[in-house]
Amino acid sequence: MSTINYLEAGTRAVREEMQRDASVWALGEDLGRGGVFGQYKGLIDEFGPARIADTPISEACIMGAAVGAAMTGTRPIVEMRFSDFALCAIDELINQAAKARFMFGGQMRVPMVVREPMGMWRSSAAQHSQSLESWYTHIPGLVVVAPATPADNLGLLKSAIRNDDPVVYLEHKHLWPLEGAVPDGEHLVPLGEAEIVREGRDLTLVTWSATRHTCVAAAQALEEQGIDAEIIDLRTLWPWDRDRVFASVEKTGRLIVAHEAVAVSGFGAEIAATVAQELHHRLKAPVQRLGAPRIPIAYAPPLEDAARVTCEKIIDAATALCLPVTAS
């Protein structure tokens, strides 16, 4: 095992897959100088400008070129700089890449990965801070991934690059410096498989991306109150690991879904509704979900913080949900 950070794990994944498969290449703005966050640093020296390709400042051009290249036999990695900027290329991704396999009767695949740095990050403000995962989980034909640790960023990105369908790959900007242990050899994390981060008996916390770490801190504090929380990091939002979530909720009887994205129509609503529908007979309390209010993300740090799902908010929700446990 080696200790590297989240950003370095993504760089390693790209390097290893480009070394393994000559059809893998990357395109986007400023990749030649390492990318806006440095996540492609050094790759142009190893693979050259034909495989680490700088593009014009046009997201629609970048995405459209990648879709065509994927259809004709290569595996492009599309860098969108910020998830917000990908909205300029939404037609190419949603109406072309996501639907090609269906519209060509299975004869056409679009094996591409769209990397979209997401989430709140040191006063990036309304146009650079959004978490838009639910937009993509809504679209048939797309795989949606949101890693929370360096090891998962390595293993999931490698699996995404090898996948034969388009993958929207959401990396939280706040996690770039996060360090963690990563296997030295080949490391793949299967798409669609959640991780049980912490086992517990009283409450299930389902989460993904940076909110995983907030849930871990909350669970540690809840333990001091006598509440034993189980944490599940979905890792892949579509397909999501229903079996693992269901098994946990059947054990605990309580569920909170927590995510940074706006709560209204967020992907947490899908999990909450599915569990309430399928496991209503096993629930000891109504399903709860925590997300941001339906407001733009402010530049001012105090206002930005007001939109966050914090450790304290998770503790309060969990305590209310588990009142019979705490009373006993």
3-class DSSP string for 13-70? HHHHHHHHCCCEEEEECCHHHCCCCCCCCCHHHHHCCCCEEECCCCHHHHHHHHHHHH
Measured from the Cβ of residue 30, the count of other Cβ atoms closer than 10 Å reads: 14
CA 165-205-265 angle, to 5 degrees, is 55
| Contact residues for 241 (Cβ-Cβ < 8 A; gap 6+) | 192, 193, 194, 232, 234
By residue count, the chain amounts to 328
Give yes or no: 128 in active site: yes
For residue 296, say if its preceding peptide bond is cis, omega within 30 degrees of 0. no
Q: At what angle do helices 267-278 and 242-252 cross, to 10 degrees?
A: 60
The CB-side HSE value for 319 (13 A sphere, CA atoms) comes to 13
- Distance of alpha carbon 187 from alpha carbon 59, whole angstroms: 31
Which residues belong to the active site?
128
